[in-house]
Amino acid sequence: MSTESGDNKVIGNFRKLIDECSADPAYDPGNDKLKISALEAQYTAGDAAVAAVAAARAPNKLAVTDREDAFSELRPLAVRSRNYLKASGAPQSVVEDADIYIVKLSGGRKSAKVKTDPNVPEKAGPGSGSASQMSYENRTGHFEGYIEIVRNVSEYTPKEDDLTVASLEAFAASLIAKSNAVSTTTATLDQKRGVRDQLLYLNDDSIVNTAKLVKAYVQAALGTSSQLYKKIKGLRFEGRRSDR
């Protein structure tokens, strides 16, 4: 697959193709789609589509970074809260229940993993599934599960503002909002990329396909020894989808 910098190269080469053809009075195709006016319109639409992708990438990258920063604070905060819970005098059984969620925030498991019998590979043990639960959604869910426990523990009365149940709930809500922002901006970026891919690469009359037809016309009508053909033959137009 090409990179998005490759999209700019395709657009730039298409601009050069149009300019070279416009400057040559012998360029006079019978196919209306290859006339200069049609090429100009196609260039304008393609260039706008590439610019739209670049514009959509910025908020998406910012949203991804914002979410990463927020989730990097999740486990340290949860561990501090759990340590306060343990020191508060809450029943050991409650602390152990809370520990299950804290362990899951590290992608681990509270109980030992049951090994599959190596002699009977088709019979996996009941605990043989992956212990990783580190998706953003799962981590948020584990944290909310932990909050539900401390919410119902009368001994859990921290004086530290960021450890109070209200603060923990607010932090969980912020994690959800940041994940939603990533989802929203990703959807927008995907849509813009889809439009770009169609205009530059995938449509029957995409820029890549049109450029190849222009070259074919010039070669047929003016010949390989013509000045115009020599000018445009080295312009590359890769018929590949851009990166996701």
Measuring CA to CA, which residue among 31, 189, 165, 1 is closest to residue 98? 165
Please indicate, yes or no, whether residues 65 and 96 belong to a single structural domain of this protein: no
Q: Bridge-partner residues for 2, per DSSP?
A: 242
The pLDDT of residue 107 is 76
The pLDDT of residue 213 is 97
Residue 122 lies in a domain: no
Residue 165 lies in a domain: yes
Tokens (6 digits) for 58: 């910025």
Residue 60 lies in a domain: yes
The pLDDT of residue 166 is 98
The pLDDT of residue 38 is 98
Which stretches of the chain drop beneath a pLDDT of 50?
A: 1-2, 112-131, 242
The pLDDT of residue 238 is 82
Please indicate, yes or no, whether residues 55 and 9 belong to a single structural domain of this protein: yes
Please indicate, yes or no, whether residues 194 and 151 belong to a single structural domain of this protein: no
Residue 164 lies in a domain: yes
The pLDDT of residue 240 is 59
For residue 110, is it left (φ>0), alpha (ψ between -120 and 50) or beta? alpha
Please indicate, yes or no, whether residues 196 and 210 belong to a single structural domain of this protein: yes
The pLDDT of residue 24 is 97
Please count the other Cβ atoms lying within 10 Å of the Cβ belonging to residue 225: 7
Please indicate, yes or no, whether residues 165 and 196 belong to a single structural domain of this protein: no
For the chain, the straight-line distance linking the first and the last C-alpha, in angstroms and rounded, comes to: 9
pLDDT tens-digit readout, 29-48:
999 999 999 999 999 999 99
- Residue 222 is part of which domain span? 4-70+186-232
Q: What is the DSSP string of 72-124?
A: HTHHHHHHHHHHHHHHTT--HHHHHHHHHHHHHTTT--SSPPPPP-TT-TTS-
